[in-house]
């Protein structure tokens, strides 16, 4: 698959067949398509990366969005966030949509508090299939913010325009963060929360016949078809415990099981869990449990 990187918003818009921007570092415009492709993708055969942020609000009329083999429900308004240099694969998308798209070059934030604050909005690092699905009330609120930004953009650029636009953008991002928390909580209440899938992946890791390493968050995320940032945020919301801590607690449970059910040496147990150095296993076990593996085994067998 071919790859194309866009340094400027104007080049991106030109390839997408969209109107040119009034400002070199910012634009907001409606999108409407009667074709079976995403209207803000310049070519259906490219992996696209850019030097700018994109926030896209879509209302699905019919069809479904397919990213590779991953599809997601879009029965209501959908917000998709893309960060600079994030790969956006357009192959296989089948959609008819209308909505709005906002493109903000990283240079537009320079000298503004959002230049640093935007790094705290971790959903820009989520995969595209982890879009924010809005409730009707949320969709109305976000749509109104898009309208406010669009009105300010169309009013004629002056010394106040950038500050006003970015204040609306900050509000939009803050609401999106709140709505993502709502989405995490609702998924927690379903029969397949992220934590359950996460634990299943850890179990599968240790069920492998030739397992020789500790569980890796990147590999787990890939198996779950989500990003590392998404797993971290979802697990923290569901359980209050970080992904790293969840992995370590799972490993400790496995260690205790081996210590109770076998007479294997501590070194052998450490290697069987994927530790390269048994002394690291002993230190981690004592840190998490307050005693060494040997002391734990001896306590149980008193």
Q: What confidence score (pLDDT) does residue 119 get?
A: 84
Packing angle, helices 243-261 and 217-224, rounded to 10: 100
- Mean pLDDT, the chain, whole residue set: 81
pLDDT digits (tens, 9 = 90+) for 37-46: 444 444 455 6
- Can you tell me the distance from the alpha carbon of 83 to that of 119, in angstroms, rounded to the nearest whole number? 10
| Closest alpha carbon to 274 in 208, 227, 195 | 208
Q: What confidence score (pLDDT) does residue 69 get?
A: 44
Cross-strand pairs, 53 = 104
pTM beyond 0.85, yes or no: no
Q: How far is the CA of 13 from the CAs of 7, 26, 29, 34, 85, in angstroms?
A: 11, 11, 10, 18, 17
Q: What confidence score (pLDDT) does residue 70 get?
A: 46
Contacts of 121 (CB under 8 A, 6+ apart): 81, 173, 176, 177
Give the number of residues written for the chain: 302
| Closest alpha carbon to 128 in 85, 186, 71 | 71
Q: What confidence score (pLDDT) does residue 129 get?
A: 56
Helix, strand, or coil (residue 265)? coil
CA angle 265, 257, 193 (to 5 degrees): 140
Q: What confidence score (pLDDT) does residue 168 get?
A: 96
Confidence of residue 33 (pLDDT cuts 50, 70, 90): low
- Can you tell me the distance from the alpha carbon of 265 to that of 205, in angstroms, rounded to the nearest whole number? 22
pLDDT digits (tens, 9 = 90+) for 259-269: 988 889 999 99
| Torsion sign, CA atoms 1, 56, 139, 236 | positive
């Amino acid at each position: 698959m071919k790859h194309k990187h866009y340094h400027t918003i104007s080049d991106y818009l030109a390839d997408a067949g969209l109107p040119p921007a009034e400002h070199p570092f910012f634009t907001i415009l409606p999108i409407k398509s009667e074709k079976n492709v995403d209207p803000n993708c310049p070519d259906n055969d490219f992996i696209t990366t850019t030097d700018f942020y994109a926030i896209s609000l879509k209302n699905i009329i019919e069809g479904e969005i397919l990213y590779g083999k991953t599809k997601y429900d879009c029965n209501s308004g959908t917000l998709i966030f893309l960060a600079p240099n994030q790969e956006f694969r357009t192959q296989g998308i089948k959609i008819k949509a209308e909505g709005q798209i906002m493109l903000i070059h990283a240079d537009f934030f320079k000298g503004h508090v959002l230049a640093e604050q935007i790094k705290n909005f971790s959903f820009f690092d989520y995969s595209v299939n982890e879009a924010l699905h809005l409730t009707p009330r949320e969709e109305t609120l976000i749509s109104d913010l898009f309208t406010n930004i669009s009105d300010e953009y169309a009013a004629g650029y002056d010394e106040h325009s950038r500050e006003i636009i970015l204040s609306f953008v900050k509000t939009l991002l803050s609401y999106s963060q709140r709505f993502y928390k709502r989405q995490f909580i609702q998924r927690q209440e379903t029969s397949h929360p992220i934590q359950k899938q996460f634990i299943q992946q850890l179990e599968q890791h240790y069920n492998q016949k030739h397992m020789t390493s500790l569980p890796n968050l990147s590999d787990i995320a890939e198996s779950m078809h989500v990003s590392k940032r998404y797993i971290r945020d979802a697990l923290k919301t569901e359980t209050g415990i970080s992904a790293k801590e969840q992995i370590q607690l799972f490993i400790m449970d496995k260690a205790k099981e081996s210590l109770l059910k076998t007479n294997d040496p501590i070194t052998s147990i450490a290697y069987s869990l994927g530790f390269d150095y048994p002394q690291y296993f002993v230190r981690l076990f004592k840190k998490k449990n307050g005693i060494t593996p040997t002391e734990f085994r001896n306590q149980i067998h008193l």
